Structure 1
Amino acid sequence: MSSKILVTGADLAPQALALLTGFEVVYAGKTPQEDDLVALCQQHDPVAIIVRYGHITPRIIEAAPSLRVISKHGSGTDTIAREAAQARSIAVVAAAGANAAAVAEQAMALLLACAKSVVQLNERMHAGHWDKATHKSVELSGRTVGVVGLGAIGLRFARMADAMDMRVIGFDPFAKALPAYVEPVALNDIWRQSDAISLHCPLTPDNRHMVNEATLALCKPGVMLVNTGRGGLIDEQALLAAIASGQVAMAGLDAFAQEPPPKDHAFFGNPRLVLSPHIGGVTSDAYVNMGVAAAKNILSALARVPAAA
């Protein structure tokens, strides 16, 4: 009988499946909930889980006695109960860098949409208006962008910003051997010096709500904020207050504290917010890259981690 791999999604790239021919792959569907995943683990007892959607909780881990590796179909592992996995010596691995190009491009698209009023001008044009005589956008060339998180995604975004003649400052306590176009600074200097800020760090207990009332007050009036990382990095009520006061001119967000946000969320309808549904890493190329990386990570981890007795 083949060992089983549970995918918390409805599909996996054919290129990834080709690497997993020795396993039976079980799909949880597009929107798996905790109870669904617990039931599937109890039914199939997978040796590995590929995490596409939803959270992997201690209950889910407990329901899979043969589980040896949890592989993220992406770069962030904050949706996985790492302590529960560690307690059972279950490897937790991520497809680091597999979606770097996709997410960095989304971050730049959001920054440009904020600076150039792309959404508002599009809506005005479709409504029959011609605002050439009254509208002025922001020129990014010569301005300072602060990049928080200098992994594969943050550095790729920084390289694009540098190519646009922006001054790039960055903060990442774990980054080493930074390229010449990134000027390392303290986190408080990111807030104080940046005309635009882009978040590219994982969510941890230490940086939850790193963008808050106090840090936003340190920023230049009219700063632009982009988040393609995790919604929990931002205190959403503090951001709304800063937008209302003009302290934040525009924000482009691809991640939210609750996903999807409730239908009555105060973000909706705010003309100073450009929103996308956490799709920064969702491209055809990234889908293949992340699937292949997730599959390879499983094979590598299974080769290292001994089977349970």
Structure 2
Amino acid sequence: MTKPIFRVGYIERPMHQSFIDVMEADPNIDLLRIDLADGDDRVRAALASCHGYYARAARDELPLAWHVTPALLATMPSLLVVASYGAGYDTIDVPACTEAGVIVVNQAGGNAEGVAEHAVGMMLGLLKRMPEAGVAMRAGTVVRREAFLGRELSGRTVGLIGLGHVGTRVAEILRVAFGCRIVVHDPYLDAATCQQRGAEKVAFNELLSISDIVSAHCPLTAETRGLFDAGAFAAMRPGAIFVSTARGSIHDEVALTAALDSGHLSAAGLDVWEREPPPKDHPLLAHPAVLVSPHTAGVTHESRERVARMAAEAFVLAAAGKPPVRMMNPEVTAAFVARRATIGA
């Protein structure tokens, strides 16, 4: 007997063609592309018919009306699973989904290599003062090379905020290739687990005070929003470098600008922003000691193919009535199984 069709909707474009390929190969899945140009009423009606929603993870790339909030959930009575495009889930209210009995899946680990390489690349570029040197060269003001005397990464102490998939890979690269000492603040991991992943667990304030470089690798949550404020930057050692390839809003952009302007911090590498893309007159974009990118750390051919395929495979499992992997709210598993059994009944 043929299983009832499991409908999955996505808005306008998937992360990568691999998502389409995997989904269309499953005869139990009806893949629905939703066009914003059709208007809110038709978008809402299309989403209301879906059992799965493939939701963009970057909050400024998805109109607020289609973020997974209590208001949207109230219009999607058939929804069973939401999968984010990537590791992040800024557009998804996980507690609200849990209350509604909807599974949330992210693609943690799928872009870890790309993001880790980007973070380490920023560290190297900032230590060698590449942004400042580039500004001076383009302005024709280079007189003495010694004006851009840099530092080496080898042997530095690097503090990581978060030791998940990306943080663990960053720690490995820095430890193996550069002989760095890795310290970490991660309240969800014990010291033994951190040690197994190549890092020494320390308190947040201690990490700030002893690290030559501080690199953020945590999700944006109520706990991490504004974690790097003026006080945190002041607690960092003089001349330290701040890097974030995590999420905007974890660091206070005004406070970071002040810490750089005062000379307390020597440089910063930023791939994530409060507003993405940031306005072209943003002071951090013009700062000579800041290396910037537009949230592209995980935007590689390999990462996008991988995370899109992972998301598709999660929906394939859900369509078969099986709980998908990487669930952020496994407590709704029983509710999912029961609700999945009612499709087509």
TM-score (norm 1): 0.90
Cα deviation 1:100-123 (Å, max 9, x = unaligned): 001111111111121112233234
Corresponding residue number in structure 1 for 2:330: none
Q: Is structure 2 residue 218 aligned with structure 1 residue 171?
A: no
Aligned partner of 1:47 in structure 2 is 51
Once the two structures are overlaid, the 10-residue window that deviates more, 190-199 or 177-186, is 177-186
Tell me the CA shift for residue 4 of structure 1. 2.7
Give the corresponding residue for 2:32: 26
Which residue of the partner structure matches residue 258 of structure 2?
Answer: 241
Quick one: distance in 2 between partners of 1:38 and 1:104? 41
Q: Say whether the 8 Å CA contact 1:95–1:297 is kept in structure 2.
A: no
Q: SS where residue 295 of structure 1 aligns?
A: helix
Q: CA deviation at 1:28?
A: 4.5
- In structure 1, the residue matched to 2:68 is 56
CA distance in 2, matches of 1:39, 1:266: 40
Whole-angstrom distance in 1 between the partners of 2:45 and 2:70 = 14
Deviation of 1:39 (Å):
4.1
Unmatched runs of 5 consecutive residues or more in structure 1: none
1:203 has 2:203 as partner = no
Aligned length: 306
In 2, Cα distance between the equivalents of 1:36 and 1:196?
47
- Which of 68, 72, 77 lines up with 1:65 in the alignment? 77
The corresponding residue for 1:5 is 8
Tell me, in whole angstroms, the C-alpha distance in 2 between the residues paired with 1:133 and 1:87. 60
Equivalent residues of 1:91, 1:301 under 8 A apart: no
| CA deviation profile, 1:57-114 (whole Å, cap 9, x unmatched) | 3333223221110001211223202222122101001111000001111111111121
Query: Any idea what SS the aligned residue of 1:168 has?
Result: strand
Return 147-156 or 36-45, whichever deviates more: 36-45
- Given residue 297 of structure 2, which amino acid in structure 1 is its aligned partner? G
Flag structure 2 segments of 5+ consecutive residues without an equivalent.
Answer: 323-335
Q: Tell me the secondary structure at the aligned position of residue 284 of structure 2.
A: coil
User: Equivalent of 1:144, from 141, 144, 157?
Assistant: 157
Deviation string 1:174-228 (CA, Å, 9 cap, x unpaired) is: 2252336311111111111101000000111122111111111111011100000
Which residue identity lines up with residue 76 of structure 1 in the other structure?
Answer: G
Q: Which amino acid is 2:240 matched to? A: V
2:145 aligned to which of 111, 122, 132: 132
More displaced stretch, 85-94 vs 121-130 = 121-130
- In the alignment, is residue 153 of structure 1 matched against residue 166 of structure 2? yes
